[in-house]
A and B are shown apart, each in its own frame.
Chain A
């Protein structure tokens, strides 16, 4: 049994206190990826805009592209990804058992998932800020949560969503009728047929489902959010070096947008920065100065590989989720910190 497997096993049972500290400069996961020549990346496979399979058989979506970005950083080739569709229920087991190297699935960062005594997972920076929203028909005249008093609300049973709704409504002292459904495939048609006055789920999912309605413009989201759902990419806690590499790939996407680097211009910008020694920050980011890539166990130009493969964070958002797509999500909290959003990359130095 390999070391990575042992560590993963220990992690599963929450036994890891301070395993594999500094003794190994490299990461066992990264060594494994290099040895097999491809990254095994878990995606959900059925979340609109995040990961689905296109008609040609390729995985499409912002989560799928993150896998490609990591493969580009580690192996220098964005196509060297083996996508592994896993369901929400088994994602963490698939990760801790070593079946997959990385979870690129919208997973909310919570304490119990993070803590060594809980799931002992390692979360990257928040990749997508989401929150639980409530959708109502615009014609219904419902403007606030309080207006839902005594009205039926469609919700998926056994989910966090259901608990959040109950918590918030109790806080507000509003009595409502929960209409529970086994799955979204039943809940959304029921809402569209008018069986409930509102439906609640993650805002991004609500917007996505709305775009499939007969008349999407007739439905709107309430301004209040029931919960915050910051989701991030997940690796095992037993391999901190690998977690760091994934974390900085995520930062790279954000920093590239802030620096104005795109899939199209990154090569020319690098050529310009090579000649111009005054662009110190750009030179560090693009791996011309310093050895930041090596410190992470990645090639010096991993940032360039990442941006060349998938573009920057803004490009990813526009391509898969933004107003030009059927989903038509607003960037909102997912704007850069310089534009009033929450995405910020720590300095590359």
Chain B
């Protein structure tokens, strides 16, 4: 305790002026925190979230088909556990092969606490609560199994895990939209968190290859390709996203013959994709600029073809440099999906608007917005954490350590 006190004193109460400033700030902050907690626990009426929890999660998805989303959730949890365990069993260079490092123990504890407490606090029915317990148990079980037996499969296991995610994405699309013997669920019935995640993940996955191609195009020696890329990037960057979304929603119906225009959710998702691709291209271009020209020349002089040199030498370095900027782009893309509410789609913010207009829940704006903020923060934090883990894993200068 002593060193802590000493440090506090040195940092907060070194001089009388410091002491006054610190006391004042601490008083204001604790007052604000107290006010917030009092509101959250005594005045706020969380019924608006409890009653509408399904709406916030999946929007107007038909009740009798919701088992498909649950199935997808089970698959996602299992896949997460599997990837987590396999990654731990193949330690990155700066880590020893500890199967349950401290961060993982904290994460597992958090998961268990959240899984037990959150559904109960939301007042969900016992069967739904049990499902969440099952999901958390499954995740941890698979994580343990994969960590325990992962090394037996060697590098093949890692590759299989990497392959599993795209396959799972396609399976998820089929489960959500129907087809292959499942009843089709029209995109107009998707909503809430489901739509937010779907639109943003679709745009993130697709804008990446498009953005890389555009960045390469902009640095190409072929004038047509170069000017085409420049024109595209500058046009998209010169137009606000909301105008492009309006354009996609309202003008595409005129331009394409009847019935050919894709559903408006897909139109919005494509607009998001093309929009993000332009910005991503610039992030990738900055990464390409950071790779010394000598790298490409050396690769070419070793006999690699131009595409091979790009693929094996230039792009891996460029993307590593551009990764933080790209993830920043992804996070802002996730938040840009809230603009979909302005074109009448019921994603998270759109759902919130309609819930706040429900005569039974009028005036409950604070509760709804706070919930929204927490949900968005969780999604963005997950992206940020993932990217930092990836950065560390890709860091060529990582020093093996004994922690």
Contact = CB atoms under 8 A, between A and B. Distances in A.
Interface of A: 1-2, 5, 9, 12, 45-49, 52-58, 60, 82-87, 90, 93-94, 97-99, 185, 189, 208-209, 211-214, 320, 325-327
B249 to A, nearest CB: 7
A174 B54 CA distance: 50
A183 B207 CA distance: 33
Contacts of A94: 249-250
A46 B258 contact: no
B300 interface: no
A57 B250 contact: no
B365 A189 contact: yes
B59, B60, B61, B62 interface centre (most CB from chain A within 10 Å): B60
Given A1-B258, A45-B353, A52-B354, A99 B362 contact: no
Contact of B359 (A45, A48, A87): A48
Given A1-B258, A84-B188, A327 B359 contact: yes
Closest 6 interchain pairs by CB?
A212-B363, A212-B362, A57-B60, A46-B357, A85-B344, A326-B359
Contacts of A47: 357
A9, A49, A52 interface centre (most CB from chain B within 10 Å): A52
Interface string B61-78: 111000000000000000
Contact of A90 (B51, B189, B249, B364): B249
A6 to B, nearest CB: 10
Contacts, number: 109
Contact of B355 (A53, A58, A208, A213): A53
11 contacts: A45-B353, A46-B356, A53-B346, A57-B55, A82-B186, A84-B188, A85-B345, A85-B350, A94-B249, A209-B362, A326-B362
B161 to A, nearest CB: 36
B22 interface: no
A3 to B, nearest CB: 10
A12 to B, nearest CB: 8
A320 B357 CA distance: 13
Interface residues of B, number: 42
B256 to A, nearest CB: 9
A326 B350 contact: no
Contacts of B345: 85
B250 A55 contact: no
B55 A55 contact: yes
B306 to A, nearest CB: 45
A82 B188 contact: yes
B258 A57 contact: no
A96 to B, nearest CB: 9
B362 A98 contact: no
B254 interface: yes
B266 interface: no
B402 interface: no
Contacts of B350: 45, 85
Nearest to B59: A57
Nearest to A85: B344
Contacts of B351: 53
A93 B246 CA distance: 10
Interface in B223-269: 246, 249-251, 253-254, 257-258, 264
Given A48-B359, A325-B359, A55 B51 contact: yes
Contacts of B182: none
B363 A87 contact: no
A205 B95 CA distance: 61
Given A46-B353, A57-B59, A82-B186, A9 B254 contact: yes
A45 B258 CA distance: 26
Interface in B358-372: 358-365
Contacts of A52: 354-355, 357-359
A97 B359 contact: no
A47 B55 CA distance: 17
Contacts of A209: 362-363
B343 interface: yes
B23 interface: no
A1 B256 CA distance: 8
Contacts of A1: 257-258
B305 interface: no
Given A55-B51, A209-B362, A90 B250 contact: yes
A56 B58 CA distance: 11
B362 A53 contact: no
A145 to B, nearest CB: 26
A46, A58, A327 interface centre (most CB from chain B within 10 Å): A46
Given A45-B350, A90-B246, A185-B365, A99 B358 contact: no
Contacts of B55: 53, 55, 57
B54 A55 contact: yes
A90 B358 contact: no
B220 interface: no
A189 B364 CA distance: 11
A98 B364 CA distance: 36
B124 interface: no
A84 B60 CA distance: 12
Contacts of A214: 363
Contacts of A82: 186, 188
Contacts of A5: 254, 257-258
Contacts of B63: 56-57
A209 B250 CA distance: 31
A189 B365 CA distance: 10
B52 interface: yes
Nearest to B356: A46
Contacts of A57: 54-55, 59-63, 189, 191
A55 B364 contact: no
